[in-house]
């Protein structure tokens, strides 16, 4: 695995976390004292982050530094981490992290706790039912 593969993977994890938090590149850049263009370069893997910068991102995004490396060995580098963060489940069907993120963002916008709980219960029930049928 090359240094470029690692930089690209870490950048994709940065983008994933930023998106999960509903933040713009500009907001993240401002929080850590850099330009949004630099965040773009980090997310694309064009520039490597030093340990101080990685720590700043982790602290701001409320994750351990190790978050940015989670799954690196399984991905086999950037070549194993598809551009749209798509992976395959056990039935070889595409599972899009982007779809998951959009679902999470929409779920977080639901303000009524009873509605959120019932929706979560429904999704779990559907998932369990499907698992039983397979």
What's the confidence (pLDDT) of residue 131?
59
Are residues 7 and 61 both part of a single domain? yes
Q: What range does the domain containing 126 cover?
A: 94-134
Displacement of CA 91 from its chain's centroid (Å): 23
Are residues 99 and 43 both part of a single domain? no
pLDDT in tens, 96-111: 566 777 788 888 888 9
Are residues 69 and 112 both part of a single domain? no
What's the confidence (pLDDT) of residue 59?
96
Are residues 62 and 101 both part of a single domain? no
Answer with the one of 28, 43, 74 that is the final residue of a domain.
Answer: 74
Number of domains in the chain: 2
Question: Which of 96, 84, 103, 6 is closest to 49 using CA atoms?
Answer: 6
Are residues 101 and 59 both part of a single domain? no
User: What is the band of 36 on the pLDDT scale with cuts at 50, 70, 90?
Assistant: very high
Above 50 in pLDDT, residue 34?
A: yes
pLDDT in tens, 43-95: 999 999 999 999 999 999 999 999 999 888 876 644 444 433 444 344 444 44
Map tokens 């983008």 to a residue.
15
Query: Is 87 inside a domain boundary?
Result: no
- Residue 69 has phi, psi (to 5 degrees) of -110, -5
Map tokens 């219960």 to a residue.
121
Strands (E), the chain: 86-88, 94-96
**By CB neighbour count within 10 A (0-12 exposed, 13-18 middle, 19+ buried), where does 20 fall?**
middle
Structure tokens at 92: 């070889």
Query: Is 41 inside a domain boundary?
Result: yes
What's the confidence (pLDDT) of residue 42?
96
What's the confidence (pLDDT) of residue 79?
45
Query: Is 89 inside a domain boundary?
Result: no
Structure tokens at 117: 């709980």
First-to-last alpha carbon distance for the chain, in angstroms, is 36
């Amino acid at each position: 695995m090359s240094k470029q593969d690692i930089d690209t993977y870490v950048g994709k994890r940065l983008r994933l976390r930023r998106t999960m938090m509903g933040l713009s590149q500009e907001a993240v850049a401002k929080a850590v004292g850099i330009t949004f263009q630099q965040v773009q370069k980090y997310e694309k893997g064009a520039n490597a982050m030093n340990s101080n910068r990685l720590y700043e991102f982790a602290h701001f995004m409320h994750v351990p530094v190790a978050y940015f490396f989670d799954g690196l060995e399984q991905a086999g580098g950037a070549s194993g981490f598809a551009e749209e963060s798509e992976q395959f489940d056990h039935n070889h069907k595409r599972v899009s992290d982007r779809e998951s993120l959009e679902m999470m963002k929409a779920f977080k916008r639901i303000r009524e706790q009873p509605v959120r709980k019932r929706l979560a219960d429904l999704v779990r029930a559907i998932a369990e039912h499907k698992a039983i049928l397979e």
